Amino acid sequence: MSVQPNLSEPKLLKIGEFARRAGTNLRTLRYYEEIGLLTPASRSKGGFRFYRESDANRLTMVQTLQGLGLHLDRICEVMSTRNGDTTKAGFFARIRSALEEQDRLLRDRITELQGQRERIDYAFGKLQECEKCDVIPDSGNNFCDPCPATGQELPQDLSALF
Amino acid sequence: MSVQPNLSEPKLLKIGEFARRAGTNLRTLRYYEEIGLLTPASRSKGGFRFYRESDANRLTMVQTLQGLGLHLDRICEVMSTRNGDTTKAGFFARIRSALEEQDRLLRDRITELQGQRERIDYAFGKLQECEKCDVIPDSGNNFCDPCPATGQELPQDLSALF
DNA sequence: TTGCTCCTCACGTCACGTGAGGTGGC
DNA sequence: TTGCTCCTCACGTCACGTGAGGTGGC
């Protein structure tokens, strides 16, 4: 006789085990509950929080969005796909727009970081030349900005460190 | 008669103009001075702070490193290229290592973000299929995780939003 | 019952935000 | 002198960190 898995009672985790799996800690989870960002699925009669395994995916999304520089109140908004009209069309439209928003943020951020890598590369190139030069950057020559050899501005990342 | 530009007295900016150019604000600059991250080049006798134009490049680097998740004390360390032995070789070695550190951080972060984009893409693909499906995710079906049509786990980013 | 996990305050911290009240400098 | 910019406290805030003291549940 095959037993139907009980889908209406998915596995629940206590806060410690859930935090470990989700890569976070107890204080953060309690704080997220306090601000309404992530509410446990239930509580024991003694007050113990119980989380769904799948809530770890919500946590991951929060971490991703935080890494992109969003504040928790904005993250609440972006992830509140269950608020609003309850039609299937409306619900799915909110999901789609949340995913699109994240993709935009990711693309923009990647472009930014690639630009920063190019600037680092440019600085490396100039640094090679500086190593062959006699002048040592100090306050007397405004830390070699502009470069006494070429008269040009230093790459930003060298100017920052000289 | 040509006049030698006075390199020992580069243009100095008051805090407001400097903040505007560097894309920051007065409070942040005062805080950075307090913790020793960015000290003004000089002060007027009345106490007004004066910054070098080139210090904006230092600020930019601080912002970049903050965006990569570093704390200010770590940023102090990474950017303290003027501390240590004062030989040219030592100084340049510290510059090089600071640039390498940043490049590592940038590459790792870009890889991470690209992975996140792929996950978003994967979620979009599944969402297309879900739109053709009759089942509506709710607490009775554990928000469609696992998918009642395929039996497979949902993409993380759908599970997070369903 | 023991031990480990969890609970709720509640104060501390980092990186600033935001006035209050006063002074500098073209 | 007027107006704008700057000054130094100093308290507030966001997102937690870190105990203190007490209870739950296998």
Average pLDDT in the A51-59 region?
A: 96
Q: Using CB atoms, which residue from A81, A116, A140 is nearest to B8?
A: A140
Q: B114: which chain A residues are within 8 Å (Cβ-Cβ)? A: 110
- Distances A86 to A39, A89, A94, B106 between C-alpha atoms, Å: 20, 8, 11, 42
Report d(CA A58, CA B145) in Å as an integer: 13
Angle of CA points B61, B67, B69, to nearest 5°: 110
What is the value of pTM for the model shown? 0.91
The closest nt to B30, taking CA to C1', is C16
B130 close contact with A: CB closer than 8 A = yes
Mean pLDDT lowest for which of A8-22, A29-43, A90-104?
A: A8-22
Give the tens place of pLDDT for each residue, B83-119: 889 899 999 999 999 999 999 999 999 999 999 999 9
CA–C1' span, B145 to D16, in Å? 31
Average pLDDT in the A10-19 region?
A: 93
Cβ contacts from A onto B, under 8 A: 131
Give the tens place of pLDDT for each residue, B11-50: 899 999 999 999 999 999 999 999 999 999 999 999 999 9
Average pLDDT in the A55-65 region?
A: 97
Using the CB atom, is residue A47 less than 7 Å from strand C? yes
B83 close contact with A: CB closer than 8 A = no
Report d(CA A111, CA A107) in Å as an integer: 6
Report d(CA B100, CA A97) in Å as an integer: 38
Interface-testing mutation among B106, B111, B131, B143, with chain A (most A C-beta atoms within 10 A): B106
Using the CB atom, is residue A16 less than 7 Å from strand C? yes
pLDDT of residue A9: 59
Q: Is the dihedral of CA B43, B48, B49, B54 positive or negative?
A: negative
